[in-house]
Amino acid sequence: MPPAPRTAPRTWAELCNDPSLQDLPYKIETNARGQIVMSPIYAWHGRFAYQIAQLLEEHLPDGHASVELAIRTTAGTKVADAIWCTAERWGKIKDAYDAPIAPEICVEVLSLTNTEAEMEAKRALYFEAGAKEVWLCDRESTLSFYDASGVLESSYRVPSFLVTVSL
């Protein structure tokens, strides 16, 4: 008799604890149907996210910056490459597998395969989950800033943040 088929993890917490999904060289998210979506990333992708998080913490020392934060959205769990949030918001999300509310600033480092439509949808999901700004960083380390109404010339929260990050 063959073994019973293994059931797929159903929650983000189960995905995080699934040993077969540990140490993959992919960014893992879920879509609106709960299916796993994996995107390969280059080494520079992680470096950009890390550097932006460090700079956010330098510019905004009264809050918390991090990388690879899972955020619960209406279209599944999405993972922001870098984030910054107030200490108050950090207290609400720090112990969650997938944050029930988005940090105030969510940053996406664009991969070669990301489309404009995909990023527009992700920005909308982050804003719907409570983000105040979403930043995009392209492969040349140039940042673009958005709030819920659209593109900004610079960040409202960090107007001194450079448009091109020196990495």
Asked if the structure places residue 83 within a domain, the reply is: yes
Asked if the structure places residue 163 within a domain, the reply is: no
% of the chain beyond a pLDDT of 70: 87
Q: Per the confidence metrics, is the pTM higher than 0.95?
A: no
Residue listed under structure tokens 């520079």: 44
CA pair distance 86, 101, nearest whole angstrom: 12
The domain of 83 spans 41-152
Over the stretch 87-139, which tens digit does the pLDDT of each residue have?
999 999 999 989 999 999 999 999 888 899 999 999 999 999 999 999 999 98
Asked if the structure places residue 158 within a domain, the reply is: no
Query: How many structural domains compose the chain?
Result: 1
Kindly give the pairing relationship between strand 133-137 and strand 143-147. Answer: antiparallel
Asked if the structure places residue 94 within a domain, the reply is: yes
Asked if the structure places residue 13 within a domain, the reply is: no
Q: What is the CATH number of the domain that holds 47?
A: 3.90.1570.10
Judged against a pLDDT cut of 80, whether residue 13 lies above it is answered with: no
Judged against a pLDDT cut of 80, whether residue 31 lies above it is answered with: no
pLDDT: is 23 or 70 the higher one?
Answer: 70
CA pair distance 36, 82, nearest whole angstrom: 21
Asked if the structure places residue 36 within a domain, the reply is: no
User: Would you list the DSSP string of 37-106?
Assistant: EEEE--HHHHHHHHHHHHHHHHH-TTEEEEEEEEEEEBTEEEEEEEEEEEHHHHHHHTT-SSBSS--SEE
Burial of 17-29, coded b for 16+ CB within 10 Å and e otherwise, reads eeeeeeeeeebbb
Burial of 96-114, coded b for 16+ CB within 10 Å and e otherwise, reads eebbeebbbbbbbbbeeee
Which tokens belong to 94? 């720090």
Contact 69, 79 (CB under 8 A): yes
